Amino acid sequence: MKKILVMGGTEFISKAVVISLIKRGYCVDFVTRGLKRVDFDGYHQHFITDRKDKEALKNLLKNELYDYIFDVSAYTKEDVENLIEAVDRTHLKRYIFISSGAVYLSSNTYLKESDDRGFNENWKNYGYDKKLAEDYLLELYNKIGFPCVIFRPSYVYGEGNNLKRESFLFDRAEHSYPIVIPVSGATSVQFIHIQDLVKVLLATMNNLQLDGEAFNLTHPEIIEWPTLIKTIRQIVKKEFDLKGISQEKMDQLNISLASFFPFRDLTYLLDSHKLAAYRLPLPSITLKEGLTKTYEWYLAHNLLSDIIRSEEYEKVVAASKTIDDK
């Protein structure tokens, strides 16, 4: 039986990876800081430590041998370096690193895996630190053939998302409360549903072509903010006003985008054709299909919030203009 280590395991992507591996019959260990309750079973070992503590990580993993490692919780080069130095690589067939599309320099067009990466003011250190972690892995591959593969997802959404993104919008739609979007321009973005992401990640275990490669990971559907909100309305089946506010008005009110909208207002498009070239499965869940699954999950788990109003949000609503979109 293949033995697998997952870094993370109690939140969103890492949890979905662990549960999917368990369902497929693998022997799964995972490492967390122990801050969240584990509400599933079937795993082999749950190691609790801070991965930034190199010696503690070494002590935990010193007697373990893994065929595959899924690293979901690394944000910096040091995170990756600590783990690779801590684990016995004798049996390791592949190290799968979850990076981000935020590693690329800013662009209003499709980004390919070969495009320039670096510090992007929109994503700041989050994207740059992921880029440095990628560089470390690719250097190891070039020096010693370290069997790594890198994935750069777009916005990930779906059941279990711990980030207040789609749930933020569901909460307001459920209460027929206005949703405000930025109207600075025709922003285009992409999404990938958690089930599609996990499907691609797990497919890497039986694909011998992938070492030293990086892949963009997204559904190809292009979404603009009005389309996103209209899709929410169709799913929730509630009437509410769609409003827009300009950057100029936000500046006048000294209000940040994050106070009323759960995404960055920038074009974020990834060319994902490379997946097919390497015989990896293509994301197939459309935004409407994925958001429907997600909304049903929130309802089933009673996770929608009654706390949708705040003084700052009310100020934004009052200053915005209704968009005739119905």
The CATH number that applies at residue 210 is: 3.40.50.720
Q: Is the pLDDT of residue 81 over 60?
A: yes
Same structural domain, 17 and 151: yes
91-95, 110-114, 230-234, 304-308: segment of lowest average pLDDT: 304-308
Strand boundaries in 173-326, DSSP class E: 179-182, 188-189, 191-193, 213-217, 223-224, 242-245, 321-322
Of the pLDDT bands very low, low, confident and very high (cuts 50, 70, 90), residue 208 is confident
Give dist(CA 172, CA 186) in Å, integer.
23
Same structural domain, 182 and 197: no
* The two three-digit tokens of residue 139, written as one number: 């250097």
Q: What is the DSSP letter of 69?
A: E
- Which residues make beta-bridge pairs with 157? 193
Same structural domain, 211 and 179: no
In a domain? residue 274: no
* CATH number of the structural domain spanning residue 310: 3.90.25.10
Same structural domain, 121 and 248: no
In a domain? residue 278: no
- The domain total for the chain is 2
Give dist(CA 165, CA 158) in Å, integer.
10
Same structural domain, 97 and 171: no
In a domain? residue 279: no
Mean pLDDT in residue range 110-131:
97
Among the listed residues 107, 102, 76, the one whose alpha carbon sits nearest the alpha carbon of residue 218: 102
Q: What is the pLDDT of residue 325?
A: 62
In a domain? residue 264: yes
- Residue 209 three-state SS: coil
Q: What is the pLDDT of residue 281?
A: 97
Contact call for residues 149 and 95 (beta carbons, < 8 A): yes
In a domain? residue 276: no
Give dist(CA 232, CA 166) in Å, integer.
9
Percent of the chain whose pLDDT exceeds 70: 99
What is the torsional sign of CA 216, 284, 123, 322? positive
Give dist(CA 159, CA 203) in Å, integer.
21
Give dist(CA 77, CA 125) in Å, integer.
12
Contact call for residues 253 and 316 (beta carbons, < 8 A): yes
Mean pLDDT in residue range 101-127:
96
Which residues 6+ apart lie within 8 Å of 76 measured at CB?
Answer: 129, 132, 133
Give dist(CA 23, CA 91) in Å, integer.
23
Q: Is the pLDDT of residue 85 over 80?
A: yes
Give dist(CA 223, CA 189) in Å, integer.
5
- Which residues make beta-bridge pairs with 175? none
In a domain? residue 275: no
Same structural domain, 121 and 206: yes
* The two three-digit tokens of residue 8, written as one number: 């993370």
Whole-angstrom CA distances from 80 to 61, 145, 166, 198 are 14, 16, 30, 20
Mean pLDDT in residue range 3-31:
98
Strand boundaries in the chain, DSSP class E: 3-7, 27-32, 45-48, 68-71, 94-98, 148-153, 155-157, 179-182, 188-189, 191-193, 213-217, 223-224, 242-245, 321-322
Give dist(CA 286, CA 43) in Å, integer.
31
Q: What is the pLDDT of residues 243-272, one digit of tens each?
A: 999 999 999 999 999 999 999 999 999 999
Q: What is the pLDDT of residues 42-63, one digit of tens each?
A: 999 999 999 999 999 999 999 9
Of the pLDDT bands very low, low, confident and very high (cuts 50, 70, 90), residue 1 is confident
Q: ∠49-54-59 over CA atoms, to 5°?
A: 65
Q: Is the pLDDT of residue 137 over 60?
A: yes
In a domain? residue 52: yes
- Name residue, tokens 């509410």: 240
Number of Cβ within a 10 Å radius of residue 169: 23
Among the listed residues 278, 166, 139, the one whose alpha carbon sits nearest the alpha carbon of residue 216: 278
Q: In terms of residue numbers, what domain contains 316?
A: 166-189+220-268+285-322
Average pLDDT value over all residues in the chain: 96
Among the listed residues 38, 18, 181, 189, the one whose alpha carbon sits nearest the alpha carbon of residue 102: 189
Q: What is the pLDDT of residues 63-79, one digit of tens each?
A: 999 999 999 999 999 99
